[in-house]
Chains A and B, each alone.
Chain A
Amino acid sequence: MLNIPKRKTKKKRLKRPQKKPEKLIDKDDTRLDGRKLNELRPVKIEVGILGNADGSAYIEQGKNKILAAVYGPKEVHPRHLARPDRAVLRCRYHMAPFSVDERKSPAPSRREVELSKVIREALEPSIFVEYYPRTSIDVFIEVLQADGGTRCAGITAASLALADAGIPMRDLVVACAAGKVDGCLVLDLMDVEDKGGEADVPLALMPNLNAITLLQMDGSLTIEEFEKAINLALEGCKQLYTLQKEALKSKYVAVKEAVEE
């Protein structure tokens, strides 16, 4: 008798007992963490917190804790990657092994490879790369704790790190996701909502230029629902943008206030 070759899927180890919540949104349109449908998670941002990087920023959004750092512009190594007419932008999105429930191997997963690419493509339109030929600008995003929407929070922090590094930019890039959970359109999905919901639409924006630099979607939405989701994500972005700018200015504002006392 022929034997069908057995190929094991990735073995998952200790699965933490995760009670899949029955309902993600209750009848008062309140979400599991008490938020309204169109409410952002609480956000905290700090800029310029790492000593060695040319620019850096840290963001907490709900339970997300993400660090972004920028090195450059500097000479490219290896040399053959240099471009004669512009700087090369390199981006690495990476999750720490302890950032998720089940320990994640430090080796880059396919998801991290894809996210590194789309995040780079989200930031690139904002940078005047033509000003610095033959150099590289390296962006590092480390997710220290993850709870859904890490690519968006990572972009928001990375953009601040670029500005903190003194790299000339067309605008800050801010990002936020909207989606559909338990039949309702919601803003800024947490991990449990992303996993249990019907759709997730992450979006990145340069607000002053009205330019969408990242757009992805997975799940199932009618075109009409998709349009509403985009508009909701844009709203969220605008709110985050205000917080982004404040965080960037805060170092200088604080010094000014101290001096003027």
Chain B
Amino acid sequence: MPLFYEKRQLVTPGDLLAEDNYIAGDNTYKDNGKIYASRIGLVDYEARKVHVVALKAFYVPSIEDTVIGKVVEVTTGGWIVDINAPYFAMLRASDVIDRPFKPQTSDLPSIFDVGDLIIAKIVAYDRTRDPLLTIHEPGLGKIMRGQLVEITPTKIPRVIGRKGSMVSMIKRETGCQITIGQNGLILISGKTPDDERLAVMALHKIEEESHISGLTDRVTEMLRKEKEGVEHT
């Protein structure tokens, strides 16, 4: 059975992962019956599917994803939002303003202006056009306060953890509100700057060590140690 690596081994682009009758999953590709890695990451085999959990990749929009973005331009029809992806996203004025809107009389910058941060959801995206956003759901809209952290989007699942275990733990230990954007942007809002700082440290640690098992324990321990240290000063 031609598998050339063990689970969770580090592979680089071009590494031959499998031969004969396997399915090419994420971050791999098939050429002449052989499956190769296309990004650096940890290889994993599941039944007849081979995929690589990428250690470094940029965000590619996906419909239904919740993202955090920065408004970079106000146009006559809406806003252009930077969602940290190869494409800018569009938020239409008609999505935000309930009554029929007239470009001449509506004051779009008063709703969202250049530099504002918003949480939105991707409702449409395909090869021929830029992603389309909506804020027409509870929990979406302009962000008024908090700190923004940026991590590699592929690590987001690790930040969430199995059934939300990791992020719940961080919320508990730091007392912060944490909003996660699938595009690698995370909003932290805590009672004190120190609390927020702890959460930021936790997130960076997850990003750096996501490929090593036992992460949840290590992060929990680090947070507890830091909190003890702070209490003693």
Question: Which residues of A are at the interface with B, using a C-beta cutoff of 8 A?
Answer: 54-55, 72-75, 84, 126, 128, 132-135, 163-172, 206-209, 245, 248-249, 252-253, 255-256, 259-260
Residues from chain B with Cβ under 8 Å of A75 in the complex: 86-88
Contact between A249 and B10 (Cβ–Cβ < 8 Å)?
yes
Q: Is B201 part of the contact surface with A, judged by Cβ < 8 Å?
A: no
Contact call B38/A168, Cβ cutoff below 8 A:
yes
The distance from the CB of A42 to the nearest CB of chain B, in whole angstroms, is 22
Which residues of chain B are within 8 angstroms of A132 by Cβ–Cβ distance? 86
Q: Which 9 A-B pairs have the closest CB atoms?
A: A171-B14, A166-B57, A73-B86, A168-B38, A169-B13, A208-B14, A166-B56, A135-B86, A259-B212
Q: Which of A73, A74, A135, A163 contacts B13 (CB 8 A)?
A: A163
Q: Does B12 contact A (CB under 8 A)?
A: yes
CB distance from B218 to the nearest CB of A (A): 7
Residues of A within 8 A of B55 (CB): 252
Inter-subunit contact A163/B40 (CB<8 Å):
yes
A128 touching B38 in the complex, CB below 8 Å, given contacts A165-B58, A170-B14, A206-B14:
yes
Name B residues whose Cβ lies closer than 8 Å to a Cβ of A.
10, 12-16, 27, 29, 31, 36, 38-40, 54-58, 86-88, 127-128, 152, 154, 208-209, 211-212, 218
Determine the main DSSP class of B at the interface with A.
loop
Closest Cβ of chain A to B220, distance in Å, is 15
CB–CB A166/B152 < 8 A: yes
Bound CA span A105–B69, Å: 42
- Which residues of B lie under 8 Å from residue A253 when comparing CB positions? 10
- Nearest-neighbour CB distance to chain B for A73, whole angstroms, equals 4
B residues near A163, Cβ cutoff 8 Å: 12-13, 39-40
* Residue contact B14 to A169, C-beta cutoff 8 Å: yes
How far is the CB of B205 from the nearest CB of chain A, in Å? 10
Tell me, in angstroms, the Cα distance from A171 to B36 when the chains sit together.
Answer: 8
Question: Roughly how many angstroms separate A75 CA and B55 CA in the complex, as a whole number?
Answer: 24
Beyond the given A72-B86, A163-B40, A172-B12, please list 11 additional residue pairs across the A-B interface where CB-CB is below 8 A: A128-B38, A163-B39, A165-B58, A166-B152, A170-B29, A171-B14, A171-B36, A249-B40, A252-B40, A253-B10, A256-B211
Residues from chain A with a CB closer than 8 A to the CB of B57 are 166, 168
Most chain-A Cβ atoms within 10 A of its Cβ — which of B12, B57, B58? Answer: B12
Chain B residues closer than 8 Å to A172, beta-carbon distance: 12-14
CA of A259 to CA of B219, assembled, Å: 12
- Please state if A166 and B86 are interface contacts (CB–CB under 8 Å): no
B12:A249 contact, CB within 8 angstroms:
yes
Residues of A within 8 A of B152 (CB): 166
Distance of A135 Cα from B218 Cα, bound (Å): 40
B154 cross-chain contacts in A, Cβ below 8 A? 166
Q: Report yes or no: A171 in contact with B13, Cβ–Cβ below 8 A.
A: yes
Interface contact B127-A170, CB-CB below 8 Å: no
Sample (6) of A-B pairs whose CB atoms are under 8 Å apart:
A72-B86, A84-B128, A168-B57, A170-B31, A170-B38, A252-B211
Q: How far is the CB of A20 from chain B (nearest CB, A)?
A: 42
> Within 8 Å CB of A134, what residues of B?
87
A8 vs B38: C-alpha distance when bound (angstroms): 52
Contact A209 B86 (CB under 8 A): no
Provide the residues of chain B in CB contact with A74, threshold 8 Å: 86
- Within 8 Å by CB of B14, from A133, A164, A209, A249, lies A209
Nearest B residue (CB) for A246: B12
Residues on A with C-beta less than 8 A from B31 are 170, 209
